[in-house]
């Protein structure tokens, strides 16, 4: 099992990165508790450290069946995305959506969408990846996460996968504020354990479109 964990905030070691690290800690705890009986590889990548552009709408993928823009998305991220069984994104909310790093990442899935819906090709490794989201914002807005979740459903569909749910937190603003909420971190860590040890129906995820 390969878990690709993507961090989308420009703030290093901020709240969304702490969430993602805590989730990964839960995964490793589960593996340790069961003497590494499961074969699991986890890789964390911070999007702001990569060099890639948003979709240029050049139409190259409609001819070549794959993205033609040669940058870190194509050479570094694409093989990892195809290989992933879990694609986990952790992003803060910026202006009621994900960050522009995450937006650029999502836009590049257009070439995968073209592969699936225009060329009618299968997943290259015949996988059905599961998408999980972690997100947080400073305010208490009722629809704070709706835009992100709607986008991610389409993103996961483009890679023949499914968005399975996420964990979302409001009222978290300053760097490290999330550490003041041990119950939040516990929830995220437990989810890391659950995805290794339990069937999907038992994962403590929020599956609503507007959590
Ligand atoms: C450019 C920018 C836009 C933001 N927009 C929103 C917003 O629309 N709603 C909200 O609740 N919080 C918003 N925030 C607050 C962040 O979501 C919040 O500070 C979060 O904890 C940052 O997470 P991080 O430490 O992982 O970067 C915004 C912050 C920035 C810098």
Residue-wise pLDDT tens digits, 165-192: 999 999 999 999 999 999 999 999 999 9
Helices and strands, number each (H, E), in the chain = 8, 5
> Quick one: residue 153, left, alpha or beta (phi over 0 = left, psi -120 to 50 = alpha)?
alpha
Q: Does the pLDDT at position 35 exceed 90?
A: no
Q: How far is the CA of 62 from the centre of ligand 1 (A)?
A: 36
What domains sit in the chain, N to C, each tagged with a CATH number?
Answer: 2-202 (3.40.50.360)
Q: Give the model's confidence band at 44: pLDDT under 50 very low, under 70 low, under 90 confident, else very high.
A: very high
What integer pLDDT is reported at residue 37 of this predicted model? 79
Q: 117-170, pLDDT tens digit by residue?
A: 999 999 999 999 999 999 999 999 999 999 999 999 999 999 999 999 999 999
The pTM for the full model equals 0.98
Q: Does the pLDDT at position 36 exceed 80?
A: no
Nearest-atom index, ligand 1, CA of 10:
27
- What is the residue with the minimal CA distance to atom 16 of ligand 1? 137
- What is the residue with the minimal CA distance to atom 3 of ligand 1? 94
Q: How far is the CA of 160 from the centre of ligand 1 (A)?
A: 30
- What is the residue with the minimal CA distance to atom 15 of ligand 1? 138
Ligand 1, CB cutoff 6 Å, lining residues: 9, 11, 14-17, 92-96, 136-139, 141, 144, 172-173, 175
Q: How far is the CA of 96 from the centre of ligand 1 (A)?
A: 9
What integer pLDDT is reported at residue 204 of this predicted model? 98
Q: Does the pLDDT at position 8 exceed 80?
A: yes
Q: How far is the CA of 18 from the centre of ligand 1 (A)?
A: 15
DSSP 121: P
Q: How far is the CA of 137 from the centre of ligand 1 (A)?
A: 5
159 and 66 in contact (C-beta within 8 Å)?
Answer: no
Question: In whole angstroms, what separates CA 115 from the centre of its chain?
Answer: 21
Buried b (16+ CB within 10 A) or exposed e, 144-174: bbbebbebbeebbbbbbbebbbbbbbbebee
103: Cα within 13 Å, side-chain hemisphere: 12
Q: Give the model's confidence band at 34: pLDDT under 50 very low, under 70 low, under 90 confident, else very high.
A: confident
């Amino acid at each position: 099992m390969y878990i690709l964990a993507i961090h989308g905030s420009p703030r290093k070691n901020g709240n969304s990165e702490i969430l993602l690290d805590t989730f990964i800690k839960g995964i490793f705890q589960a593996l340790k508790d069961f003497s590494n009986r499961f074969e699991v590889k986890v890789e964390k990548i911070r999007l702001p450290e990569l060099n890639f552009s948003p979709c240029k709408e050049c139409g190259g993928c409609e001819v070549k069946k794959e993205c033609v823009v040669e940058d870190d998305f194509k050479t570094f991220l694409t093989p990892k995305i195809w290989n992933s069984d879990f694609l986990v994104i952790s992003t803060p909310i910026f202006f009621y959506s994900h960050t522009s790093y995450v937006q650029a990442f999502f836009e590049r899935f257009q070439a995968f969408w073209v592969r699936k819906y225009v060329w009618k090709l299968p997943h290259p490794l015949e996988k059905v990846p599961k998408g999980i989201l972690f997100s947080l914002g400073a305010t208490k807005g009722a629809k704070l996460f709706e835009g992100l979740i709607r986008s991610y459903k389409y993103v996961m569909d483009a890679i023949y996968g499914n968005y399975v749910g996420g964990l979302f937190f409001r009222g978290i603003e300053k760097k490290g504020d999330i550490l003041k909420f041990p119950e939040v971190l516990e929830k995220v860590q437990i989810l890391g354990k659950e995805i290794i040890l339990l069937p999907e129906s038992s994962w403590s995820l929020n599956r609503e479109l507007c959590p």
